[in-house]
Amino acid sequence: MITKATLLVIAAEDDEEVPPALAEKLFAASKSANKQFIMVPNVGHQGMLDDVTTMQQSQAFITEL
């Protein structure tokens, strides 16, 4: 069953608090028809949202809703 819920998952490649594999698993398990996965390279848990490209991607996804 596909759901109308929207999902945006942002994961950090070097995250030791929430390993990227868990974020990927969550994304894969989602039945949402409208979802996006963003992997932020070379950063840990605390730096994900400091990345300009990540913020541009997430803002573009939200704007399209």
Q: What is the DSSP string of 6-62?
A: EEEEEEETT-SSS-HHHHHHHHHH--EEEEEEEEETT--GGGGGG-HHHHHHHHHHH
Please give the pLDDT value at position 4: 83
Please give the pLDDT value at position 1: 76
Q: What is the mean pLDDT of each run of 10 residues along the chain (65 residues)?
A: 88 96 97 96 93 96 94
- Range(s) of the domain holding residue 50: 3-63
Q: What angle do CA 7, 22, 13 make, to 5 degrees?
A: 90
């803002």: which residue's tokens? Answer: 59
Q: What are phi and psi of 63, to 5 degrees?
A: -60, -35
Question: Which residues fall within 8 angstroms of residue 46, CB to CB, at 6 or more apart?
Answer: none
> How many domains is the chain built from?
1
Please give the pLDDT value at position 22: 97
Please give the pLDDT value at position 60: 97
